[in-house]
């Protein structure tokens, strides 16, 4: 039986955070090697041969390891383990506040349940009045939350990398209360209500820390809204 070319093979990676990622194709695996996200010591499963091997023992990765070593500056140190999620920039999840208290393993397992979504400048990501069903975490880029009143735009908030929106839709079936529009191109992580419920049933130890952080964010937002309402009330009363 003829062997498949490397580019047609599928692989899984047993990463430093003790999470198995994949299946992925060879171009993505070789990219992770060049980025030093996969090292010589990682174990790689080749689906076509149904075998686990150390990455260093896979001949097809040899040239890519050499390229990675040439790209690393002398004295540089490979950073902490980073979830191997296709389309997610290196180190991006470590900058998201709601992931910071998770272990590497929790972060990696959780991230595998998220959908990566790229967006372009001026794209409407969420439209007021539409059904919810998912929340979003910004990995790259800037968006604005707005309401259109009398044909004019009222910007409620501007959000950037590490922040989230749409989280209320994980807890109720209400319609979206505002538009979210992209100020730049960027990358989002999408968590659907359906996937979140499945995680509560099957991976509670992963999703519970995340939901606790979401609850904290919602509490902070409610406090800020209450304080804003208080100030507006005092201002109106001072004008009478």
- Per-residue pLDDT, 93: 73
Residue 120 within a domain: yes
The tens digit of pLDDT for each residue in 143-191 reads 999 999 988 999 999 999 888 899 888 888 788 999 999 999 998 989 9
Residue 194 within a domain: yes
Strand residues in the chain grouped as ranges (E): 10-14, 20-25, 43-46, 51-54, 115-119, 124-126, 134-140, 143-149, 152-159, 164-165, 179-182, 186-192
Residue 97 within a domain: no
Give the residue with greater pLDDT, 2 vs 203: 203
What is the domain-level CATH number for residue 225?
2.60.120.10
Residue 29 within a domain: yes
The vertex-11 CA angle with 186 and 200, nearest 5°, equals: 60
Residues 229 and 147 in one domain: yes
Residues 40 and 128 in one domain: no
Q: Does 3 score more than 70 pLDDT?
A: no
Residues 66 and 124 in one domain: no
Are 40 and 61 spatial neighbours (Cβ–Cβ below 8 Å)? no
Average model confidence (pLDDT) across the chain: 81
Are 28 and 52 spatial neighbours (Cβ–Cβ below 8 Å)? no
Residues 151 and 228 in one domain: yes
Are 162 and 103 spatial neighbours (Cβ–Cβ below 8 Å)? no
Tell me which of 40, 56, 71 is where a domain ends.
71
- Per-residue pLDDT, 185: 94
Distance CA 191, CA 183 (A): 22
Average pLDDT over residues 70-82: 51
- Per-residue pLDDT, 90: 58
Q: Does 75 score more than 60 pLDDT?
A: no
Q: Does 67 score more than 90 pLDDT?
A: no
How many domains is the chain partitioned into structurally? 2
Residues 58 and 127 in one domain: no
Banded pLDDT at 77 (limits 50, 70, 90)? very low
Lowest mean pLDDT among 75-84, 114-123, 142-151, 166-175: 75-84
β-pair type (124-126, 179-182)? antiparallel
Percentage with pLDDT > 90 across the chain: 21
Q: Does 84 score more than 50 pLDDT?
A: yes
Average pLDDT over residues 208-235: 79
Residues 117 and 223 in one domain: yes
Residues 67 and 118 in one domain: no
Distance CA 74, CA 158 (A): 40
Residues 154 and 205 in one domain: yes
Tell me which of 71, 87, 104 is where a domain ends.
71
Dihedral (CA of 34, 40, 41, 44) sign: positive
Residues 50 and 128 in one domain: no
Tell me which of 17, 37, 71 is where a domain ends.
71
**Burial class of residue 190 (count of CB atoms within 10 Å of its CB; 0-12, 13-18, 19+):** middle
Q: Does 1 score more than 50 pLDDT?
A: no
Residues 63 and 169 in one domain: no
Tokens of 108: 């990696």
What is the domain-level CATH number for residue 14?
3.30.1490.40
Residue 61 within a domain: yes
Q: Does 70 score more than 80 pLDDT?
A: no
The answer, as to whether pTM is greater than 0.85, is no
- Per-residue pLDDT, 152: 92
Residues 141 and 212 in one domain: yes
Contacts of 134 (CB under 8 A, 6+ apart): 166, 169, 190, 191, 192, 193
- Per-residue pLDDT, 178: 92
Per-residue H/E/C for 200-226:
HHHCHHHHHHHHHHHHHHHHHHHHHHH
Dihedral (CA of 203, 196, 224, 92) sign: positive
- Per-residue pLDDT, 239: 67
Average pLDDT over residues 10-30: 83
Residues 62 and 117 in one domain: no
Residue 67 within a domain: yes
Q: What is the CA radius of gyration of the chain?
A: 22
Residue 86 within a domain: no
Q: Does 121 score more than 90 pLDDT?
A: yes
Percentage with pLDDT > 70 across the chain: 85
Question: 155 has which bridge partners?
Answer: 146
- Per-residue pLDDT, 123: 95
Q: Does 5 score more than 60 pLDDT?
A: no
Domain that holds residue 196: 113-238
Residue 231 within a domain: yes
- Per-residue pLDDT, 17: 67
Distance CA 237, CA 240 (A): 5
């Amino acid at each position: 039986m003829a062997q498949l070319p490397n580019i047609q093979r599928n692989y899984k990676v047993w990463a430093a955070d003790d999470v198995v990622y994949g299946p992925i194709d060879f171009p993505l695996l070789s990219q992770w090697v060049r980025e030093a996200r996969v090292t010589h010591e990682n174990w790689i499963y080749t689906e076509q041969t149904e075998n686990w091997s150390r990455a260093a023992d896979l001949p097809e990765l040899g040239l890519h390891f050499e390229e990675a070593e040439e790209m690393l500056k002398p004295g540089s140190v490979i950073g902490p383990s980073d979830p191997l999620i296709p389309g997610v920039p290196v180190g991006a999840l470590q900058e998201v506040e709601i992931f910071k208290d998770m272990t590497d393993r929790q972060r990696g397992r959780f991230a595998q349940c998220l959908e990566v979504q790229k967006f372009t400048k001026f794209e409407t990501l969420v439209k007021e009045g539409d059904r919810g069903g998912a929340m979003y975490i910004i990995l790259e880029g800037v968006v604005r939350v707005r309401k259109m009143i009398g044909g004019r735009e009222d910007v409620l908030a501007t959000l950037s990398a590490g922040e989230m929106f749409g989280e209320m839709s994980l807890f109720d079936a209400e319609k979206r209360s505002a538009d979210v529009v992209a100020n730049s191109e960027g990358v989002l992580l999408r968590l659907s209500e359906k996937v979140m419920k499945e995680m509560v049933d099957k991976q509670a130890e992963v999703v519970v820390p995340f939901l606790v952080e979401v609850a904290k964010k919602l509490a902070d937002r409610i406090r800020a809204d209450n304080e804003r309402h208080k100030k507006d009330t005092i201002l109106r009363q001072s004008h009478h």
